[in-house]
Structure 1
């Protein structure tokens, strides 16, 4: 038999308080960090960036609060239909659809834009491929 003090402790769960410390400073996300270093004084015209120049895009990809891409895998029809959903796409979703299909090497008809929710739906479980493509593109 349990003692009354044990019952009291079990009934009153500890409360957790989340707060920010007064000396809290925000941390820059990975998207805004650069790997470039200042040029040495010996070579003032040398560039340290070895990456190809970024082409202008009219779409961006938002991130979750944990700085991950908002990409989710779904299984419908009892597991027969596998889908991957890309969320937080801002801007021109049709150009994102075309770029994604070209980057993954799949048919454009396998990528669908849901205009109501703004999500991009890709046929098949392709989360890892999409994440690699987004990292390669610098998004």
Structure 2
């Protein structure tokens, strides 16, 4: 009888990255609805990054989801793929294009998979760009 009802088994707890994603969305809506308290005049100014219209989630092993890819016969096509993007892909694409000084045809958005593909192996440059924005 127990094997006939497998749907009654309890579900595993959610992944930590999913919980962080939900908490980030809750905290941003809470910040929008609440008024910000006035800072004390003696407090040192804090360096904060403005709220961006996109977010790059990390992998379960806490790494940035940037991958160097080789395609074509004999490894002739070298690409960099950025995955796990939430928010506005076009804004992230334009920010990356300006920061890495890329031409229009060297960076593309795959709307179906929500990936950004960059021509060439640019993993270190993209990682530096994302770490500057505290992802």
TM-score (norm 1): 0.63
Deviation digits for residues 24-73 of structure 1, max 9, x if unmatched?
xx8xx9xx9xxxxxxxxxx9613163x3x423311000000111101111
2:82 to 65, 77, 86: 86
Consecutive unaligned residues of structure 2, counting only runs of 5 or more, are 1-15, 25-39
Larger radius of gyration: 1
Please state whether the residue corresponding to 2:63 is helix, strand or coil.
coil
Contact (CA 8 Å) 1:72, 1:85: kept in 2 or not?
yes
Q: Aligned partners of 1:137, 1:109: CA distance in 2, in Å?
A: 25
- Residue 56 of structure 2 is aligned to residue 61 of structure 1: yes
- Residue 69 of structure 2 is aligned to residue 74 of structure 1: yes
**Corresponding pairs, count:** 98
Consecutive unaligned residues of structure 1, counting only runs of 5 or more, are 1-25, 33-42
RMSD: 2.2
Larger relative contact order (CA 8 Å, sep ≥ 6): 2
Equivalent in the alignment of 1:8: none
Equivalent in the alignment of 1:46: 43
Equivalent in the alignment of 1:103: 99
* CA drift at 1:138: 1.8
- Residue 120 of structure 2 is aligned to residue 121 of structure 1: no
Please state whether the residue corresponding to 1:113 is helix, strand or coil.
strand
The structure with the greater share of residues assigned to helix is 2
